[in-house]
Amino acid sequence: MTFENKIAIITGAASGMGLLAAQELVKAGAKVVIVDVNKEAVEAAAQDICTRGGEALGLQSDVRIYAQVKAVAGEALKKYGRIDILLNFAGGAETRMCNCHKPFHELPVEVIDWGLDVNLKGAVYFCHAVMGAMINQKNGVIVNLGSVTGVEGSAGAVNYSAAKSGIIGLTKALALSGAPHGVRVCCVSPGPVLTRPGMANMQTRLGRTAQPIEVVDLILYLCSDKAAFITGANYLIDGGRTCGGMD
């Protein structure tokens, strides 16, 4: 797969799978605009990519604030003239991210709002901000990050499950609107991924947790010309977890 001179925006890219995806895209020839709410971290990540011979622009943005999202898209267009790829990685279970481990009915509404805004609205905002450019250039790929939780549900992550289910609906609807203009939209829904130690405890049929590169490899395939006939689908990469029967 090659992404020579492709321009990619990746959210949640100061660390984890977002950063790994950016690094892999750069290795394949892309230029990346990496976005994160943590200004120092995202600028350091971009500088590291540049030091290694790639081209990266690190921008701070809170995905919950549309003006900041729109500014990122505008900066990418100003610098590069096009946006070929959008990867919506920004997100996380609000109970963990906000350190509020309570049943759904006891969660403060502020925690619920944070989860919906980051996990669903943030992706909607970024898709909205780049879709016009992709339609105008008659080409583009968006990959939204779902979760196995959006498919199987979770009593301990009700809000997160709802948001990630919404991501699947967003993907299908955007795929329909983008198809006449050469814009493809896909969703990747991982099961447990070894981005932090706690994930190793989640069960899968294959008896292990995914390595981050396994998920990133699937995402890059969907972004490539090899997947030119793929749009609107949700791709589970969960080690068979959703086959049923897991405790």
The two three-digit tokens of residue 178, written as one number: 């983008």
Q: Specify the 3-state DSSP secondary structure of 63.
A: coil
CB 120 within 8 A of CB 66: no
Evaluated on CA atoms 113, 108, 35, 160, the torsion sign reads negative
Length of the chain: 247
End-to-end CA distance of the chain: 38
- Where does the chain show beta strands of DSSP type E? 7-11, 31-36, 56-60, 85-88, 140-145, 183-190, 234-237
Give yes or no: 160 in active site.
yes
Q: In angstroms, rounded to a whole number, what is the distance separating the alpha carbons of residues 62 and 66?
A: 8
The two three-digit tokens of residue 42, written as one number: 């995202």
Phi, psi of 28 (to 5 degrees): -90, 10
Comparing CA positions, the residue from 121, 91, 118 lying closest to residue 188 is 91
Catalytic residue, chosen from 80, 125, 160, 235, is 160
Specify the amino acid at residue 247: D
The two three-digit tokens of residue 70, written as one number: 């729109």
Residues taking part in catalysis: 160
